[in-house]
Amino acid sequence: MEEKIPVEPDNGIGDGATPPKVFSFSENIEEAHNKTAFMMKEAVSFDINLKFRGNTRLEGTVSMTTNSSRVRLDNVDGSVLVFDGENVYINPVSAKKEGARFDIFTWQYFFAMPFKLTDPGTVWEKLEPKMIDSTTYDTARLSFESNVGDSPDDWYVVYKDPQTNRLKAAAYIVTFGQKQEKAEEDPHAIIYSDYKSIENVEIASKWSFHNWNSQDGFGEKLGEATISNINFFSPENDFFKAPENSEIIKK
């Protein structure tokens, strides 16, 4: 018969005490980034300078509610994209429409990713640890239930820093505008670095983009982004309204 090891009453946690919360992989990341403080803010804005292969891909200011229900992108060329919770609008109507819907959803998601890991519809699968630059990171696969967001077939392999529990990197596929099978032929990854504490919220100020595959991990560097002027704010009532004479972007 197995001998039981004697323990204190209540398993040693004291009379009526609450046991310490055991965080999941995703909850650990959200806790390290202080999701609670982030979600207490109404909105956040940041400047983004995004380059791929040395060429500027995007330069402007992204503003978003902290729950991502509304997003605004003010490009340096004066064009504006707005997601008002229902539709994506562009102004002026002569502005470049190609990639507009992708831009307004993708870059704000990469920024807000550490705070969205337990959103409704997220599905997690624990994976084996993986290496980046001779350091081992815990990893897990994030996918989504159908009908979640613009691209529910997307998936991510999320890397968690073993020392800080912060988000280190995420491999991903882009299914927007193409089938999942095609997207899986060309996965990429983002690495987060140069974290700054903005009102006690941990936010990465540097991103780098790489080729990636599940066998070899990170490959050639493809691009980088600088995130600056990060500010929490309370938007005016019409801040996320489409400007006059805007056009709806369907795809």
Number of domains present in the structure of the chain: 1
Q: Is the pLDDT of residue 7 over 70?
A: no
Indicate whether 8 belongs to any domain.
no
In a domain, 2, yes or no: no
Could you give the CA distance from residue 152 to residue 148 in angstroms, rounded to a whole number?
A: 5
* pLDDT for residue 184: 63
d(CA 202, CA 193): 11
What is the extent of the structural domain holding 242? 23-249
Is 167 inside any structural domain? yes
Whether pLDDT at 19 is above 80: no
> Dihedrals φ, ψ of 80, to 5°?
-130, 135
Cα angle, residue 104 at apex, residues 234 and 227 outer, rounded to 5°: 70
| Burial environment of residue 215 by CB neighbours within 10 A (0 to 12, 13 to 18, 19 or more) | exposed
**In-domain check, residue 6:** no
State how far the alpha carbon of 88 is from the alpha carbons of 166, 246, 250, in Å.
31, 10, 7
% of the chain residues with pLDDT over 90: 73
CATH, residue 237: 2.50.20.10
User: Residue 147's pLDDT is what?
Assistant: 65
State the pLDDT at residue 13. 44
Evaluate whether residue 4 is within a structural domain.
no
Average pLDDT over residues 237-250: 94
| pTM, full prediction | 0.86
Q: Residue 171: inside a domain, yes or no?
A: yes
Tell which wins on pLDDT, 4 or 126.
Answer: 126
Which pair of structure tokens corresponds to residue 167?
């988000």
Task: Supply φ then ψ for residue 57, to 5 degrees.
Answer: -95, -35
Which of 9-23, 35-49, 106-120, 220-234 shows the lowest mean pLDDT across its residues? 9-23
Residue 173 located in a structural domain: yes
User: Phi/psi of residue 200, each to 5°?
Assistant: 70, 15
